């Protein structure tokens, strides 16, 4: 399945920002979930573009298909339908371009990313994530990807839900602080204090951290997890400034991003890809670097 062997598994890049680039309205509160309603063919073309660029796994557009998120747009009763449709669109693209590729079902924080204080109570996290994970599994996602987790209690609730709904077919990625020592969740919890609670994960990783600072984080995580356990790393191309604006780093250039990705591999990651702001060109650049290394 690409996780246990010594190969590098290449994930896809961003879906939300890529839909935006292709003209799909990704306004809040629906964000990328609108694509299943208004532009399913563009969503499929994004998945296809990543597979054509060489991705060995694509991530479903289910970042905002929790019933709780959709309810904010008056669409709570369509959660099951939209989640199912997102998985089917990904599977259709996969089956036609790269049948051996994996479809990973994305499970994101229930409230805004980067704001751990907004995470609901543990019981609600467990219920809401459990509902989405069950739907992802039923719709045929190969593995569940709990990602961009920045609050310890929400992460652990999502893990509990994943264990009960997806058995051993799940992995988890955290969003960590970029300043200060490595391995600290946005809510201040040290990864070292919660890794033992992640028993059963097929991989553990870090995502949506600025690409240039991710290698140090991977190196730190490598020391925390068992040797055989794959580490995933997929960064974004910039970071927010103090006024809430967006500052792009050199990772905006696909070739530079690929340099960073190879540094994550060097640091111990075996699953790499792109988060916010990355494009099919980013994934293509990493693919050619991986292929070169294999020769």
User: How many other CB atoms are there within 10 angstroms of residue 57's CB atom?
Assistant: 25
Nearer to Zn ion, 106 or 236 (CB): 236
* CB of residue 158 to Zn ion, shortest distance in Å: 17
* CB of residue 147 to Zn ion, shortest distance in Å: 8
Question: What is the rounded CA–CA span in Å between residue 50 and residue 11?
Answer: 9
Nearer to Zn ion, 24 or 71 (CB): 24
* CB of residue 173 to Zn ion, shortest distance in Å: 10
Burial per residue of 108-138, b for 16 or more beta-carbon CB atoms within 10 angstroms, e otherwise: bbbbebeebeebbeeeebbebbbbbbbbbbe
- Give the Å distances, CA to CA, from 205 to 79, 94, 191, 201, 267: 27, 23, 11, 10, 12
Question: What is the rounded CA–CA span in Å between residue 34 and residue 19?
Answer: 10
* CB of residue 5 to Zn ion, shortest distance in Å: 27
Closest CA to 229 of 203, 260, 192: 203
The gap between the terminal CA atoms of the chain, to the nearest Å, is 22
Place of tokens 């693919």: 287
Nearer to Zn ion, 63 or 170 (CB): 63
Binding residues (CB under 5 A) for Zn ion: these are 208, 236, 275-276
294 burial via Cβ count (<10 Å: 0-12, 13-18, 19+): exposed
For residues 62 and 87, the answer to whether their CB atoms sit within 8 Å is: yes
* CB of residue 234 to Zn ion, shortest distance in Å: 8
Nearer to Zn ion, 32 or 84 (CB): 32
Nearer to Zn ion, 22 or 239 (CB): 239
* CB of residue 209 to Zn ion, shortest distance in Å: 9
Nearer to Zn ion, 17 or 131 (CB): 17
Nearer to Zn ion, 236 or 270 (CB): 236
* CB of residue 31 to Zn ion, shortest distance in Å: 12
For residues 19 and 39, the answer to whether their CB atoms sit within 8 Å is: yes
């Amino acid at each position: 399945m690409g996780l246990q062997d010594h190969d590098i598994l290449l994930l896809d890049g961003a879906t939300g920002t890529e839909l935006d680039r292709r003209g799909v309205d990704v306004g809040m509160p629906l964000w990328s979930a609108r694509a299943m309603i208004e532009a399913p063919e563009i969503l499929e073309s994004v998945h296809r573009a990543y597979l054509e660029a060489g991705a060995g796994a694509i991530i479903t557009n289910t970042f905002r298909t929790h019933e709780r998120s959709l309810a904010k747009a008056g669409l709570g009763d369509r959660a099951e339908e939209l989640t199912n449709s997102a998985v089917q669109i990904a599977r259709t693209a996969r089956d036609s371009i790269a049948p051996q590729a994996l479809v990973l079902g994305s499970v994101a924080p229930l409230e805004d990313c980067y704001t751990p204080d907004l995470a609901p109570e543990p019981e609600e996290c467990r219920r809401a994530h459990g509902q989405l994970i069950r739907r992802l599994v039923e719709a045929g996602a190969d593995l569940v990807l709990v990602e961009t987790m920045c609050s310890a209690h929400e992460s652990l609730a999502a893990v509990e839900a994943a264990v009960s709904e997806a058995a051993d077919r799940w992995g988890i990625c955290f969003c960590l602080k970029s300043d200060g020592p490595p391995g600290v969740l946005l809510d201040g919890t040290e990864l070292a204090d919660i890794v033992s609670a992640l028993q059963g994960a097929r991989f553990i990783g870090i995502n949506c951290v600025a690409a240039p600072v991710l290698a140090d984080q991977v190196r730190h995580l490598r020391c925390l997890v068992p040797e055989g356990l794959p580490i995933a790393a997929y960064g974004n191309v910039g970071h927010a400034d103090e006024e809430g604006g967006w500052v792009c780093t050199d990772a905006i250039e696909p070739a530079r991003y690929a340099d960073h990705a190879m540094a994550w591999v060097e640091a111990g990651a075996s699953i790499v890809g792109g988060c916010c702001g990355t494009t099919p060109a980013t994934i293509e650049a990493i693919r050619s670097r991986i292929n070169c290394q294999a020769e």
